[in-house]
Amino acid sequence: MGSKVLPALVALVLLTAASEPPDMAARFGAREDVADLSLSPDGTKVAFIAPGPGQGSALYAMGLEEGAKAQLILRTNGKPERLSGCHWVSVQRLACTIYGVVDGAGDLLPFSRMIAVDATGGNLKMLSKRENGYSRGLQLGGGDVVDWLPDEDGTVLMSRVYLPDDHLGSHMGSTAEGLGIDRIDTRTLASSRIEAPDRDAVEYISDGRGTVRIKGRRGPSGATGLDTGIINYLYRLPGSRAWQKLGDYNAVTQEGFNPYAVDHDRNLAFGFKKKDGRLAFYSVALDGSLREELIFARPDVDVDGLIRIGRRNRVVGISYATDARLPVYFDPEIQKLSASLGKALPDQPTIRVVDASVDEGKLLVFANSDVDPGVYYVLDRKTKQMRPFMGVRDAIADVKLGRVKAVTYPAADGTMVPGYLTLPVGKETAKGLPAIVLPHGGPGARDEWGFDWLSQFYAARGFAVLQPNFRGSRGYGDAWFQDNGFRSWRIAVGDVMDAGRWLVAQGIADPAKLGIVGWSYGGYAALQSAVVDPDLFKAVVAIAPVTDLASLKEESRGWTNFRIVNDFVGTGPHVREGSPAQNAARIKAPVILFHGALDRNVRIAESRLMASRLKDAGAKVELVTWDGLDHYLDDSAARSEMLRKSDAFLRTAMGMSL
């Protein structure tokens, strides 16, 4: 009897499951299955980070032989420690960054530390400098590896933060302070000092052969001690220990030469510098002449991506984004390889080499598209065999995604604004759709063609989604950036509103079902749009939004970047006029706000202020918060909740069925 009943019960369960609609919020809200992949020096294993519960994460290693299984190395619970950036330092050992945010000393404090661990999970070591009860100051940054030293198995060159130690009069005490470079055996922690700690140092660049050739120092800050954004770069001649001036770079305005890499063989520094108001790729000779050569520029967009390969991080090309991001390779072999990969993966046109074995005989390759979140492949260049290793979003592997189309639309002053339009599958020619304008964060950022989990979720739920690269976005040069999206908020927010008007004018959107969704600056633009034109958008979703420009400036008080943030936002009438919380009474549309309590980018107090002002004005508002999350809500359950609630909120506001 049991043998007959069991299949019937199974059939009933399957039938019930099949009849239930898929939980799209849970599928799209799930964190990526794998991240930060790294190929071992001998090309036989891949290490990767997988998500755990909450913000937790786990490091695994997996052999590439047939039937290999992933082996757990270590895990963190995300309260607050999280894993990122794990990289092999030998065939059997990895170095990782642990980071997090803690609530302490009356403020939110970000921290990072570097550790090393065997691929079996043993011999865990702290690579960052350790503090003790006599340390003077607080070490937030844990340093970075500046040279992986592939010829010295398990040893690295690493920047480390030194704090003065008041335990003077003993062998423990030290007055050393600032950022220095140490050569560290990751197995034993035996170390030797390569560059003495420098209180004003912010960056070191190695030549990939174990020699530090460039140092960046914080520019003069005057009596205030606040950063100005100026970095004074120094360099050394081959074989010399004396520092010479390379040039000054303004990290705020992007003026000056910004070095990224050193070519040991050609004795050159590679980096970016503006040409005709747009970033271009240059080289500078490190032979004493400082001879500068333009390598590649575009007349329409910034050249802003550096392509490296191998364990010495050698530069093989650059990239830039017009409608889509495009590579330009200087290495003939890599150019040939790229062309071959393009033919092998025609449905995944965005392709990049993630990592390589020491001899570059094996490569870890990532490929994706607008309708494919991506797959990692392992390529054996000797046998010319390539096989899939792992996909990044299995939860939506069976979901058909909407194509992303590059579009332009006219702003009120006639300027053509670029953006990306995603339509629901099967609705490519439909009219009168429910629609969402989705401005990006930043504002010093831009959207690019490709897979985007947020826009694809809303498209899967039946919305047309337009992502505008409004004026104030980076990537298009100084003229497009204006004075940034806060100082020039009227232009930036005007472009965002014109995106909605264009959707209606084209017949794509039903004007009664037009909403706006934004994260960070995008949330600010969403709220401020509802202030400027209260009748345009019928619902506003703001995730971790800036709501008050004066508060945004004050959040940096007490930190060295206060002057930079203060100048970036500016002073004058636009601070109040451009603050949604100060103009909440003008907003008619219902608003839902989402925010994490450990958000250092934008404090949760801004969303609380916005909710309070809207309630006082009699508006409909809901605030959803999470105690242990930061700006990115890097938690599958939280993201799923945010998607589910925002979808229901939009549908209710637009009179749609749930």
Write a three-state SS string for 386-450.
EEEEEECCHHHCCCCCCCEEEEEEECCCCCEEEEEEECCCCCCCCCCEEEEECCCCCCCCCCCCC
Rounded to 10°, the helix 453-460/636-653 angle is: 40
Mean pLDDT of the chain: 93
Give the residue from 390, 452, 365 showing the smallest Cα distance to 50: 390
Where does 411-548 show beta strands of DSSP type E? Answer: 416-422, 433-437, 464-468, 509-519, 539-543
pTM of the model: 0.94
pLDDT at 170: 47
Q: Quick one: pLDDT band at residue 658, thresholds 50, 70, 90?
A: confident
Sign of CA dihedral 631, 632, 637, 641: positive
404-653 — its CATH code?
A: 3.40.50.1820
How does strand 45-51 pair with strand 57-63?
A: antiparallel
Q: What is the pLDDT of residues 77-99, one digit of tens each?
A: 999 999 999 999 999 999 999 99
pLDDT at 168: 54
Phi/psi class of residue 403: alpha, beta or left (left: φ > 0; alpha: ψ in -120 to 50)? Answer: beta
The mean pLDDT value for 209-237 works out to 92
Cα separation, 82 vs 70, whole angstroms: 20
Bridge partners (DSSP) of residue 261 are: 270
Q: Quick one: pLDDT band at residue 176, thresholds 50, 70, 90?
A: confident
pLDDT at 225: 82
- The DSSP H or E segment spanning 215 is strand 212-218
Q: Quick one: pLDDT band at residue 133, thresholds 50, 70, 90?
A: low
Do 261 and 271 touch, CB atoms closer than 8 A?
yes
Q: What is the pLDDT of residues 254-263, one digit of tens each?
A: 999 999 999 9
Cα separation, 192 vs 430, whole angstroms: 67
- The DSSP H or E segment spanning 63 is strand 57-63
pLDDT at 166: 59
The proportion of the chain whose per-residue pLDDT surpasses 90, expressed as a percent, equals 89
Bridge partners (DSSP) of residue 368 are: 350
Cα separation, 594 vs 622, whole angstroms: 9
Higher-confidence position of 604 and 9 = 604
Q: What is the dihedral of CA 10, 16, 17, 23, to 10 degrees?
A: -160
Asked if pLDDT for residue 398 goes beyond 80, the answer is yes
Q: Quick one: pLDDT band at residue 10, thresholds 50, 70, 90?
A: very low
Cα separation, 310 vs 177, whole angstroms: 33
Q: What is the pLDDT of residues 182-213, one digit of tens each?
A: 999 999 999 999 999 999 999 999 999 999 99
Q: What is the pLDDT of residues 279-303, one digit of tens each?
A: 999 999 999 999 999 999 999 999 9
Cα separation, 80 vs 69, whole angstroms: 29
Cα separation, 620 vs 618, whole angstroms: 7
Cα separation, 332 vs 330, whole angstroms: 6
pLDDT at 319: 98
Which residues lie below 8 Å from residue 348, measured CB to CB, with a gap of 6+? 367, 368, 369, 372, 374, 375
The mean pLDDT value for 532-542 works out to 98
Q: Quick one: pLDDT band at residue 139, thresholds 50, 70, 90?
A: confident
Q: Tell me the domain boundaries of the chain.
A: 404-653
Phi, psi of 630 (to 5 degrees): -105, -155
Cα separation, 489 vs 511, whole angstroms: 24
Kindly state the tokens that stand for 357: 């074995």
Cα separation, 621 vs 605, whole angstroms: 15
Residues 383-400 as b or e (16 or more Cβ within 10 Å = b): eeebeebbbbbebbeebe
Asked if pLDDT for residue 7 goes beyond 50, the answer is no
pLDDT at 20: 54
Cα separation, 475 vs 448, whole angstroms: 10
pLDDT at 13: 38
Cα separation, 650 vs 540, whole angstroms: 8
Helix (H, G, I), strand (E, B) or coil at 286: coil
Rounded to 10°, the helix 489-505/521-532 angle is: 70
- The DSSP H or E segment spanning 15 is helix 2-19
Residue type, 255: E
The mean pLDDT value for 557-581 works out to 95
Q: How far is CA 632 from CA 103, 535, 602, in A?
A: 17, 30, 11
Cα separation, 210 vs 222, whole angstroms: 35
Higher-confidence position of 21 and 459 = 459
Q: Quick one: pLDDT band at residue 605, thresholds 50, 70, 90?
A: very high
The mean pLDDT value for 347-352 works out to 95
Residue type, 620: K
Asked if pLDDT for residue 126 goes beyond 90, the answer is yes
Q: What is the pLDDT of residues 17-65, one digit of tens each?
A: 444 567 999 999 999 999 999 999 999 999 999 999 999 999 999 999 9
Asked if pLDDT for residue 389 goes beyond 70, the answer is yes
The mean pLDDT value for 104-115 works out to 90
Cα separation, 331 vs 315, whole angstroms: 9
Give the residue from 358, 399, 329, 446 showing the smallest Cα distance to 150: 358
Bridge partners (DSSP) of residue 182 are: 158, 193
